[in-house]
Amino acid sequence: MKFVHTLSCLALALANAAAQPAAEPLTRVIESIKPSIVGIGSFQKTRSPALVFIGTGFVVGDGLTVLTSAHVIQKMLDSEKKEALGILVGRGETAQFRAASVDIVDRDHDLAQLRFTGAALPALQLGDSSEVREGRAMAFTGFPLGMILGLHHVTHRATVSSITPVIMPSLSAAKLDAKQVERLQRPLYSVFQLDGTAYPGSSGSPLYDPQTGLVYGVINMVYVKGLKEAAITAPSGITYAIPGNFIRDLARPK
């Protein structure tokens, strides 16, 4: 009877274990990558607020390099008023500002590389974006509406719905030159079109595999531009990401 009772207890334990869902891979990945995702902002002691959030970035390489979108840092800093560019480390009210400098800017692919000093942060690893196919599941984590909601990580699931060529249009026909006309006839490169929703502040977030955390792209602004207010109240649900292999090209000696 004791043996039967032991078997019954073991069977019950196994049944209970089977009923408990295993931790979802994305849950573990999010926790592991959060320390590598930083805010991008500027600091000016004499203004209020002194710290202004601009966008999202993530740490790669030696732990002192941050990748983000070029348009995130395109606003020129006011050096006369001692405005400093930097990264925001941490979350919520405990976020700390660490000064950074612009190392490389690739405006064609809307990428920028920053460098900061001090203690290194955990770096994310890059996957081969040429392997990405339509229908692949992805996720991206950043700080959407960080200027309103503060520095709190937000993760969105997304599917690569299309790998589509992109053409950067001119602001007006009057400004078109021969080089731009040639570009309009020949797409610059292809980007990942996603069915996830990004908001202002999401630009620069890493697009990664939800099971491995490998980065395959950088969340970019929506190419069909509209007012930020419209993006908040009526988002299109379509987001674009720059393929991650351009990150390698960014740091490659010319």
Q: pTM of the full predicted structure?
A: 0.79
Identify the pLDDT of residue 45: 82
The domain ranges of the chain are: 30-116, 129-251
What are the E-state strand segments in the chain? 37-43, 51-60, 65-68, 84-89, 96-106, 111-116, 137-142, 154-166, 189-194, 206-208, 215-220, 239-243
Point out the residues of the chain with pLDDT beneath 70.
Answer: 1-23, 75-81, 92-93, 146-147, 167-187, 221-237, 251-254
CATH dotted code for 30-116: 2.40.10.10
Whether the CB-CB separation of 26 and 37 falls below 8 Å is answered with no
Q: What is the mean pLDDT of the chain?
A: 79
User: What CATH class does 129-251 carry?
Assistant: mainly beta
Q: Which pair of structure tokens corresponds to residue 3?
A: 């043996």
Q: For 154-187, how does the pLDDT look when each residue is reduced to its tens digit (9 = 90+)?
A: 999 999 999 988 755 444 455 556 665 565 556 5
Identify the pLDDT of residue 22: 46
